[in-house]
């Protein structure tokens, strides 16, 4: 069974559907890019997948023993988050909050996990630094390490390269690809279709029409040809 199966989903606010008739599957090891213009419902879908808001109708089924609190989430950064007055180590460790259960304090296991993920994201040397003093790229590495503490099988990334310069953007995409090559399922929201589909295996395009399928199918589709440079070149 797929990790996530979405069936005939309608989502939105106060019964006003933003997206309806949505069907797609996320298999273990997938790299799915969710694209679409502003206001097409990408963030609403992400919030619904995370269980932060109820769907209007339809189903989201989690398979292969996955529960929704096992999805690591890298939110879109707001100015308040960028200015957060905590150290890198504290922020990464806070990703382990879900495994505390009834305990108030982080134990050896959580601290070890945080250390491993700081190493993985190559931010060990920054661990005592204050988050708000870091560059945008360093901040995203910290937040990825935090998301990895929360979950190691699926990561949901909301506009992870927004505001980063081209060099750091390329590094971030390559870091995310490495995680995917290591077996982590990636679901990424992006408004930058051309860069994000370079790495993706599957595309979900939201908008007036909905497309879900492999990247190759997308590039050959009318939507892919309309919305991407690569697809346009195939036309």
Closest CB to ligand ADP among residues 41, 231: 41
Q: Is 190 in the site for ligand ADP (CB under 6 A)?
A: no
Identify how many contiguous H helices and E strands the chain contains and give both numbers: 10, 9
To ligand ADP, the closest distance from the beta carbon of 189 in angstroms equals 7
> What is the footprint of ligand ADP within residues 42-71 (CB under 6 A)?
42-44
Output DSSP code: residue 125: G
Q: Is 13 in the site for ligand ADP (CB under 6 A)?
A: yes
Q: Which residues pair with 67 in a beta bridge?
A: none
Contact 110, 100 (CB under 8 A): yes
Closest CB to ligand ADP among residues 18, 154: 18
The token pair at 226 is: 């309309």
CA dihedral for 194, 200, 201, 204, sign (positive or negative)? negative
Closest CB to ligand ADP among residues 18, 74: 18
Contact 111, 166 (CB under 8 A): no
Closest CB to ligand ADP among residues 36, 95: 36
Per rule CB under 6 A, count of chain residues that contact ligand ADP? 10
Q: Is 15 in the site for ligand ADP (CB under 6 A)?
A: no
Q: Where does this chain touch ligand ADP (CB under 6 A) — which range of 39-47, 61-69, 194-202, 220-228?
A: 39-47
Max distance between CA atoms of the chain, in angstroms, equals 58
Output DSSP code: residue 75: P
Q: Is 36 in the site for ligand ADP (CB under 6 A)?
A: yes
Q: Is 72 in the site for ligand ADP (CB under 6 A)?
A: no
Output DSSP code: residue 212: E
By CB under 6 A, name the binding residues for ligand ADP.
Answer: 13, 18, 36, 38-44
């Amino acid at each position: 069974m797929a990790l996530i199966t979405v069936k005939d989903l309608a989502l939105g606010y106060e019964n006003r559907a933003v997206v309806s008739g949505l069907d797609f599957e996320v298999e273990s090891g997938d790299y799915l890019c969710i694209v679409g213009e502003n206001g097409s419902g990408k963030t609403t879908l992400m919030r619904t997948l995370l269980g932060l808001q109820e769907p209007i109708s339809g189903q989201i089924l989690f398979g292969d023993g996955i529960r929704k609190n096992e999805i690591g989430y890298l939110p879109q950064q707001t100015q308040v988050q960028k200015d957060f007055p905590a150290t890198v180590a504290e922020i990464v460790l806070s990703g382990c909050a879900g495994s505390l259960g009834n305990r108030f304090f982080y134990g050896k296991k959580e601290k070890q996990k945080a250390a491993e993920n700081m190493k993985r994201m190559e931010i060990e040397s920054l661990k005592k630094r204050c988050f708000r003093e870091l560059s945008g790229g360093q901040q995203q590495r910290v937040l990825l390490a935090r998301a990895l503490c929360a979950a190691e099988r699926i990561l949901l990334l909301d506009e992870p390269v927004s505001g980063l310069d081209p060099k750091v953007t390329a590094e971030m995409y390559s870091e995310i690809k490495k995680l995917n090559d290591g077996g982590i399922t990636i679901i990424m929201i992006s408004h930058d279709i051309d860069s994000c589909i370079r790495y993706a295996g599957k595309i979900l395009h939201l908008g007036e029409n909905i497309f879900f399928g492999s990247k190759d199918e997308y590039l050959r589709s009318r939507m892919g040809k309309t919305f991407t440079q690569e697809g346009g070149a195939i036309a």
